[in-house]
A = this chain, B = another copy of it.
Amino acid sequence: MDAMTPEPPSSAERMPTIRDIAEMAGVATSTVSRALSNPQRVNARTREKIERIAAQLHYVPSTQARGLSSGRTGVIAVLVPDITNPFYFDIIRGTQYQLKASGYTQLLVDTEEATDVELDTLRKLRRSTDGVILAASRLTDQQLTDAASRQPLVTINRATAEAPTVLIDTPGAVVQALEHLASFGHRSVVYAGGPTSSWSNHRRWKAIEEAAAKRGMAATRLGPYAPTAFSGAAAADATLGTGVTAVIAFNDLLAIGMLERFRERGVRVPEDISIVGCDDIFGADFCNPPLTTISSPIEQAGRVAVSMLMAQLDPIRGGTPRKLAVMPTHLKVRASTGPARA
């Protein structure tokens, strides 16, 4: 107003606020606020007018201010151990899709397979997010319980008593995999294990051990190996050392790495050795040979995780909050498995 007041640099013109709208509409800011985020609280005519002005001004509410006063941020964090692992891509896509549909923003964080990064992130995020989806958490039960008591949380592939969980029923499919191998005459199998801190890893091995025992097959566990194609070489070599005819890998990444190593060493797949992966990631269908693997609707797992979180955030609209969802799995037979060599 004052002629002395220096104009702010016009480089970035000021963004409109509810005050601007309120002035133009001749109402109070509170009315604008209500019209925009609580429509039924305000008269239809007033609301329309406000909406029109808002649109005309290209008004975008400040998430910061909104979050500060309302306590809600509209942000959900998704924590994955490794952004570059294709397995998580499908999860991420699923959560992204469903979060967007629910009006939330997804904040993706790579925890680098490290417990402390995970813990630290969780702490920092407590303030700035409404909830967290924790995929393949590396936390201990205790840490997980603590975290769940502090913020709305849903885990994927990591069961806890405290937080709702989406589980991919890999153990179920492991049985199918074992049957499949048995039908090909395999009598002994190696499990190329994943990270020690991986809960799924334990779960998978237990299932294999048990199912193998039931069928009188010998099962050996190798590892731990990092869940990367790169580690496949070591896993392949160790497997060859055992003389088994079949191997089940912790995941497809590892399996694909093993495939390459086998080829390098002149070991034929599946003639000399059969290999089963897990997750049916991008690439499992076009590697050489195409990988027999355990497939599941991973993307859907992400979507389900989101809806379980939504139910937790808004118990009324969300309906009965499920504590556990199990995604079905099935064995996808491709060319990496075949009859056991004599």
Cα A126 to Cα B123 with chains together (Å): 27
Q: Is A52 an interface residue (CB 8 A)?
A: no
Per-residue contact bits, chain A 182-212, to B (CB 8 Å; 1 contact, 0 not):
0000000000000000000000000000000
Report how many copies the assembly holds: 2
Q: In chain A between 92 and 142, which residues have their CB closer than 8 angstroms to a CB of chain B?
A: 92-93, 96, 105-108, 110, 123-124, 126-128
Known: A64-B64, A83-B92, A105-B107. A123 touches B58 (CB 8 A): yes
Q: Is A62 an interface residue (CB 8 A)?
A: yes
Let me know if B150 and A282 touch, CB within 8 A. Answer: no
Let me know if B84 and A93 touch, CB within 8 A. Answer: yes
Q: Is A67 an interface residue (CB 8 A)?
A: yes
* Cβ-closest chain B residue relative to A78: B108
Partner of A287 from B83, B107, B288 at Cβ < 8 Å? B288
Known: A12-B150, A283-B286. A83 touches B73 (CB 8 A): no
- Whole-angstrom distance between the Cβ of A102 and the nearest chain B Cβ: 15
Partner of A83 from B64, B93, B128 at Cβ < 8 Å? B93
Cα A68 to Cα B60 with chains together (Å): 14
Let me know if B127 and A15 touch, CB within 8 A. Answer: yes
- Whole-angstrom distance between the Cβ of A222 and the nearest chain B Cβ: 21
Cα A29 to Cα B58 with chains together (Å): 36
Q: Is A256 an interface residue (CB 8 A)?
A: yes
Per-residue contact bits, chain A 222-264, to B (CB 8 Å; 1 contact, 0 not):
0000000100000000000000000000000000100110000
We find that the number of chain A residues with CB closer than 8 angstroms to chain B is 42
What residues on B are CB-neighbors of A229 within 8 Å?
A: 286
Q: Is A63 an interface residue (CB 8 A)?
A: yes
What residues on B are CB-neighbors of A283 within 8 Å?
A: 282-283, 286-287
Q: Is A90 an interface residue (CB 8 A)?
A: yes
What residues on B are CB-neighbors of A93 within 8 Å?
A: 83-84, 110
- Whole-angstrom distance between the Cβ of A28 and the nearest chain B Cβ: 21
Chain A residues with a Cβ under 8 A of chain B: 12, 15, 58, 60-65, 67-68, 73, 83-84, 86, 89-90, 92-93, 96, 105-108, 110, 123-124, 126-128, 150-151, 229, 256, 259-260, 282-283, 286-289
Q: List the 5 closest pairs (A to B, CB-CB), nearest first.
A: A288-B288, A283-B283, A64-B67, A64-B68, A63-B128
